[in-house]
Structure 1
Amino acid sequence: MHKKITFLFILLIAIIGLAGCGTVGDEKEKATGDEQESTSSETITVEHELDETEVPKNPKKIVALEFSYVDALAALGISPVGIADDNDPSRIIKPIQEKIGDYTSVGTRKQPSLEIISSLKPDLIIADLQRHKDIYEQLSDIAPTIVLNSLAADYDQILADFEKISVAVGKEEEGKEILTQHKQRIEEIKTQVPENEDRIVLPGVVTPDGFFAHNMDSYTGSLLESIGLKNAIQDGSDRYNKINLEQVVEFNPDVLFLMQAGDKTIIDEWAKSPLWKDVSAVKNDNLYTVDRNTWSRFRGLISSEAILEEAVSQLYGD
């Protein structure tokens, strides 16, 4: 009888000890869970064109409503879950396509689908001032939204916005390093431009019904100027101007970079005119057809390097 009582007593002590261990484990697990939840709910304040927005410290599901933001995210090693790709995945240029992989189209940049954006449950949306200021509140109801100035930006603005994006996605230090490397690459490309280069250049989008010139303050114009290629339009007019053949003759660029939209453009019509043959770039066979997506739509670090590499290759290559 005494042995039986002793055995039961030892068994009871063991059960109490195991129960205590379970309680400690549960409390530890609960504490860890609370800590993880607290970490994931941390935010930072990001100032942007329309407001100050609290965004998650390390957002994981990002929707980009302009191609320049896709470029910035790709440079930072981030794949957005949603992109306003104008319902045309071929607009994503190859070097960026290779970095970001699969994504969901959220429609056009002008009118992105709020329904599709919402279905992706993003924790950050990056929007453009010109295109999306009127739907900023609706976007903000879906997820924290920052608004930058991509469409109307020059090259310096693109660099500044890259820094802002790197902060917003929790990669500030990495962003600084990437930006330093980018600037070094631009300086390397610049050394390929002769110091005595005095030709003036004019980049422009050519469509079936118009020539849209990019002046010295435009993204492409200011980018080319950053390596010493002076733009033909220096009068401070609108950054993107629809100009006629007579105006092209008046500006008389020595080099034309034509961002072609479609198989047939207004150049086919102008080529029949003797005025066209008077343009310096035409007379000296310095017309270069370039990819519109790379040269006009993407406006970012990756595309900037691609543009300048192509420009110096066309102008000074063997």
Structure 2
Amino acid sequence: MKYASTIFASIALAGLLSAPVLAREITHSMGVTDVPDNPQRIIVLTNEGTEALLAVGITPVGAVKSFLGNPWYDHIAADMADVVVVGEESAVNLELLVSLEPDLILGNKMRHEKIYEQLSAIAPTVISERLRGDWKINMELYTDAAGVGEKGKAELAKFDARIDALSAELGDALNEQISIARFMAGQTRIYYKDTFSGLILNEIGFKRPATQDKDDFAEEITKERIPELEGDRLFYFNYETGNGEADSQAADWTADPLWQNLNVVKAGKVHAVSDAIWNTAGGIIAANIMLDEIEKFYGVAPTR
């Protein structure tokens, strides 16, 4: 208890000593917070939030570790070389946050509601509501809080323009029903429409098989339900953390007779894609790379 008290006393003191000049009010999921007009030392506590900042030219002083990578996803590693790892999305190192003297903290209610008061004692803290398919909503909030809201909107507008251009290029290919699966250690899931890749595919205009046409997140399935993965094209990704268990799960399932009997498998329209890009990173940089990959899979002209 004495140790915990010391931590919180340090947090409170750091908040007082590093208090910035507050210039704007930001309304977010936990209330209204006064934030600096031009924050210079931002800490971001979600993977998708990290991409939101990088996309508008802001490098955070601290960020939570990428779910995959050491410590960052390959597609952002070069831009994050000097960024301090401040824990994981669900396990933030508060003492380290204090030492970095941030003037703005960005987080998410699903991950950080319980530590919001401690975060707010360190620096002005802005919290988005949800994760999953809400990356665009969250990016607007994060970039607004960072004082570059117009840049954030411009990047989102460019992405939406790519969606429209890609949809036009695909034409009749949009009649394909797209199936999505994920392999994890000892677990397989069907991914529905309230997911990162599900939302993007829906925006492009692709259809989903009837068994997957749900405004839900995901569902764990057993091998007996492999036929529910039937579609005109199937994308799957492995959440492989380095112990080989997700890859083993994928190898086991894709060798199963029920999998091999899927028409989409027989047609050669099954694609293994990156879990980081199609699911875990969850931000605008990954979203643009996902569009690049779809263009290549379908052989259409690049939209950027």
Contact 1:49 1:147 in 2 (8 A): yes
Deviations 1:126-146 (A, max 9, x none): 111111111111111111111
Q: Is 1:267 paired with 2:230?
A: no
- Output the CA distance in 2 between the equivalents of 1:204 and 1:182: 25
Normalised by the size of structure 1, how large is the TM-score?
0.79
Contact 1:295 1:307 in 2 (8 A): yes
Residue 123 of structure 1 corresponds to 103
How far does residue 302 in structure 1 lie from its aligned partner after superposition?
A: 1.6
Local SS of the residue matching 2:174: coil
Local SS of the residue matching 1:241: strand
Contact 1:87 1:105 in 2 (8 A): no
Contact 2:189 2:219 in 1 (8 A): yes
Q: Is 1:172 paired with 2:152?
A: no
Runs of 4+ in 1 over 6 A off after TM superposition: none
Select which of 207, 213, 216 maps to 1:234: 213
Contact 1:45 1:55 in 2 (8 A): yes
Q: Percent identity?
A: 27
Select which of 93, 99, 108 maps to 2:88: 108
Select which of 258, 262, 265 maps to 2:236: 258
- Output the CA distance in 1 between the equivalents of 2:254 and 2:183: 13
- Output the CA distance in 1 between the equivalents of 2:262 and 2:144: 46
Higher relative contact order (CA 8 A, sep 6+): 2
Distance 1:235 1:171, change over 3 A: closer
Residue 194 of structure 1 corresponds to 171
Distance 1:90 1:294, change over 3 A: farther
Residue 136 of structure 1 corresponds to 116
Contact 1:82 1:103 in 2 (8 A): yes
Q: Is 1:285 paired with 2:268?
A: yes
- Residue segments in structure 2 that go unaligned for 5+ positions in a row: 1-19
Residue 28 of structure 1 corresponds to none
Q: Is 1:212 paired with 2:192?
A: no
Deviations 1:75-113 (A, max 9, x none): 110000111115865363344333444100011111111
Residue 203 of structure 1 corresponds to 180
Aligned-pair Cα RMSD in Å: 2.2
Matches within 5 A, 1:24-173: 41-85=21-65, 89-90=69-70, 92-151=72-131, 153-154=132-133, 157-173=134-150
Larger Rg computed on CA atoms = 1
Distance 1:198 1:213, change over 3 A: same
- Residue segments in structure 1 that go unaligned for 5+ positions in a row: 1-39
Residue 312 of structure 1 corresponds to 295
Normalised by the size of structure 2, how large is the TM-score?
0.83
Deviates further, 305-314 or 64-73 = 305-314
